[in-house]
Amino acid sequence: MKVLMKPIEMIAWFTKDKKPIPLRYRIIDENNTYKVIKVDRVLFAEEEKLAGNRMIVYRCESKINNLRRIYELKYEIDSCSWFLYKF
């Protein structure tokens, strides 16, 4: 996996007690068009607070172009923003 740290638009599910769960996001690809990706499975979610900045790292699995891919998303709590972290 390569580090990308690309900002993405996200639809997530905020539950009562667990960490927010990413469901579906869209990203602008190299042809400058939106591409929607559904998160099929979250393998694990882990909170980190490097330099005191809280972020949740998700390892996820999706079907992209008919291939199962594993990648990582990051959610920054203070700024409420989502990133495609590693792909």
Partner 1 sequence: MKNRIIFHIDVNSAYLSWEAAYRLQHGESVDLRTIPSVVGGDEKKRHGIVLAKSIPAKEYGIVTGESLYSARQKCPNLTIVPPNYERYLKASNSMIDLLNEYSPLIQRFSIDEVFMDCSHLEDNFLQVAYEIKERIREELGFTVNIGISTNKLLAKMASDFKKPDKVHTLFPGEIEEKMWPLPVGKLFMIGVKTQRKLNDRGIYTIGQLAKLDREYICSWLKKPGLLIWEYANGIENSRVRNTPYPVKSIGNSTTTAYDVDNKKEAYMFLLAIAEMVAMRARNLDLIGKVVSVSLRDQSFFSYSHQKKLNIATNSTKIIYETSKKLFDEMWNGKPIRRFNISLSELSSNEFCQLSLLEDYDEREEKLNKAIDQIRYKYGYNSIIRSCFLHSGIKPIIGGVMEDEYPMMSSII
Q: Using CB under 8 A as the criterion, which residues of the chain lie in contact with partner 1 when the complex forms?
A: 3-5, 48-53, 55, 78, 83, 85
Minimum Å gap between C-beta 58 and partner 1 is 15
Can you spell out the DSSP letters for 59-81? EEEEEETTEEEEEEEEEETTTTE
Rounded CA-CA distance 23/35 in Å is 14
The answer to whether 62 touches 69, Cβ cutoff 8 Å, is yes
Minimum Å gap between C-beta 9 and partner 1 is 18
- CB nearer to partner 1: give 62 or 81: 81
Minimum Å gap between C-beta 5 and partner 1 is 3
